[in-house]
Amino acid sequence: MLNVERSEIPIYGEMKSRFAGRDVAVIGVGMTKFGELWKKSLRDIFVEASLQAIENSGVDHIDSMYVGTMSGGLFVGQEHIGAVMADYLGVAPVPATRVESACASGGAAFRQAYFEVASGQSEIVLAGGVEKMTDGADVTDALATAADQEYEVYNGITFPGLYAMIARAHMHQYKTTREQLAHVAVKNHKNGSMNPNAQFRSPVTLEQVMKATMVADPLRLLDCSPVSDGGAAVIVCSVDYAKQLKKPYVKVVASAQASDTIALHSRESLTALKCVSVAAEKAYKQAGLKPTDINFAEVHDCFTIAEIVVTEDLGFFEKGKGGAAAENGSTSIGGKIPINTSGGLKSKGHPVGATGVAQIIECYEQLTGNAGERQVKNAKYGLTQNMGGSGASCVIHILEAV
């Protein structure tokens, strides 16, 4: 124990306006289809996504790798994921590290790869994420480990329940409507229908969402992201190296992360996610950008309410206006700021550890002009926001088209 009465624990770290290291690029991406992949194991899924990313990038080796996985242990009984994946990808003995930040594991893994390249320590790093959720584990229980096990989960709360409490508080405070929540699902299903890798490729109507089975009032089944298997991987290298490869690449202009209390009840606000606003502030500062400079964003819509709160806390909309924004089309493709063009977690699927990396992939596709039907015109800056738990951790990246 420290024996000083007052220690110097800052509220959060000093913000650097620019990262001192090298400029970093994403040069190749790969992902499996998201969904119930009955014939594929955790390692198969990761290897499939990673091989695609390596192939697309044109690199002949990787120096190191990071794997984002929330809970290999609870979902399939496998830990030591870094080593398993390096082995089966056939890249051992490269250093391989598993990164965990609950549902933000993928974003956190990408951030580690970013640091390793930016620092000059490595030239080519693979950042991947993977989850296998359909092998029979109690998924509700496993996901709930991202909340406070002793003071939230012990008392019977679930993840839909935590976000439902945020939803109810938001509806109470800002008059956000049940329909506005449903609009998020409708939009994301529409976007997902245009994404060949999405778990759900069928649009849903407002009425379907409003009448779906209640899971945790006021959230219904179609407000919730699904249980999914899936993997995603990207190759990260320096911009200088990317130029030599002569392949399409995008530049990482901000990487920020923040944390908050593990328990929702300990937060100052039940209707705002401080981890998002703090990380966003850092990211914008690092990139020298404002929210209005961002052309589209992939945000963590694990539940419809999350997208509404997050788009507010990212500064895209005034606090309390996120619901209206979803309703009036501001977040649709062609709107003021398209959100979750990939279909988001809601429709694309949410294999937890893969999600943060898949967000980077959607940005890459959009910024390199390869998003097909979902293409956002003239997109220069894309933002990804990946969140852990009920908002106890958040990872934000801003990518730039070159």
Partner 1 sequence: MISPRYHREVPQRYRLEAGKCKQCGHISFPPRLVCPKCKTKSFETVQLSREGKILTFTIIRVGPDKFSKETPYVVAIIELNDGVRLTAQVADCDVNKVEIGAEVKMIFRKIQDEGKSGLHCYGYKAVLV
Q: Rule CB under 8 A: is residue 94 a binding residue for partner 1?
A: no
DSSP H/E element including 22: none
Selecting among 350, 363, 394, 397, the annotated active-site residue is 350
Q: Rule CB under 8 A: is residue 141 a binding residue for partner 1?
A: yes
Residue with Cβ nearer partner 1 (55 or 141)? 141
Structure-block tokens of residue 279 = 């990380």
Binding residue (CB under 8 A) for partner 1 from 186, 237, 258, 263: 263
**Minimal CA–CA distance to 300: which of 143, 91, 104, 133?**
104
* Least separation in angstroms between CB 198 and partner 1: 23
Q: Give residue for tokens 């849903």.
A: 204
* Minimum distance of partner 1 from residue 315's CB (angstroms): 24
**How many C-beta neighbours within 10 Å does residue 372 have?**
10
Provide the minimum distance between the beta carbon of 264 and partner 1 in the complex, in angstroms, as a whole number. Answer: 7
Residue 133 binding partner 1, by CB under 8 A? no
Find the shortest distance in angstroms from Cβ 386 to partner 1: 24
183 noted as active-site residue: no
The C-alpha atoms of residue 266 and residue 392 are separated, in whole angstroms, by 11
Number of residues that bind partner 1 (CB under 8 A): 41
Smallest distance, partner 1 to C-beta of residue 274, A: 13
Contacting residue, 207, 217, 293, 373, with partner 1 by CB under 8 A? 217
| Residue 264 found at the interface with partner 1 (CB under 8 A) | yes
In a 3-state reduction of DSSP, which class is residue 21?
Answer: coil
Residue 155 in the binding site for partner 1 (CB under 8 A): yes
- How far is C-alpha 283 from the geometric centre of its chain's CA atoms? 15
CB closer to partner 1, 92 vs 214: 214
348 Cβ contact list (under 8 Å, min separation 6)? 34, 192, 195, 197, 198, 199, 200, 340, 342, 358
Measured from the CB atom, is 221 or 245 closer to partner 1?
221
Q: In the bound complex, what is the minimum distance in angstroms from residue 221's beta carbon to partner 1?
A: 9
Contact indicator for 309, 322 with CB cutoff of 8 Å: yes
DSSP class of residue 374?
A: G
The string of DSSP letters for 263-294 reads SGGGSS-SS--HHHHHHHHHHHHHHT--GGG-
Q: Is 140 in the site for partner 1 (CB under 8 A)?
A: yes
Sign of CA dihedral 98, 99, 105, 108: negative
Residue 5 near partner 1 by CB under 8 A: yes
Please report whether residue 169 would count as binding partner 1 according to CB under 8 A: yes
Locate 137 and state its tokens.
């584990």
Residue closer to partner 1, measured from CB, 127 or 137: 137
User: Least distance from C-beta 70 to partner 1, angstroms?
Assistant: 16
Work out whether 181 is an interface residue with partner 1 (CB under 8 A): no
Per rule CB under 8 A, is residue 265 in the interface with partner 1? yes
227 binds partner 1 (CB under 8 A): no
* C-alpha pair distances (Å), 317 with each of 136, 180, 395: 40, 14, 19
For this structure, is 350 an active site residue?
A: yes
Terminal alpha carbon distance of the chain: 50
For residue 33 the two structure tokens come to 């289809």
Q: Give the residue among 18, 5, 13 at the shortest CA–CA distance from 287.
A: 18
- Using rule CB under 8 A, residue 157 touches partner 1: yes
Binding map of partner 1 across residues 269-308, x = CB under 8 A, - = no contact:
-x--------------------------------------
Instruction: Write down the least CB distance from residue 259 to partner 1, Å.
Output: 12
For residue 133, what are the contacts with CB-CB under 8 A and spacing of at least 6?
75, 139, 142, 227, 228, 229, 351, 352
Q: Report d(CA 151, CA 164) in Å as an integer.
A: 17
244 binds partner 1 (CB under 8 A): no
DSSP assigned state of 54: H
| Span near partner 1 by CB under 8 A; candidates 5-13, 46-54, 106-114, 119-127 | 5-13
Q: Which residues are catalytic?
A: 103, 350
Contacting positions for partner 1 (CB under 8 A): 1-2, 5-9, 138, 140-141, 144, 150-158, 160-161, 164-166, 168-169, 172, 213-219, 261, 263-266, 270
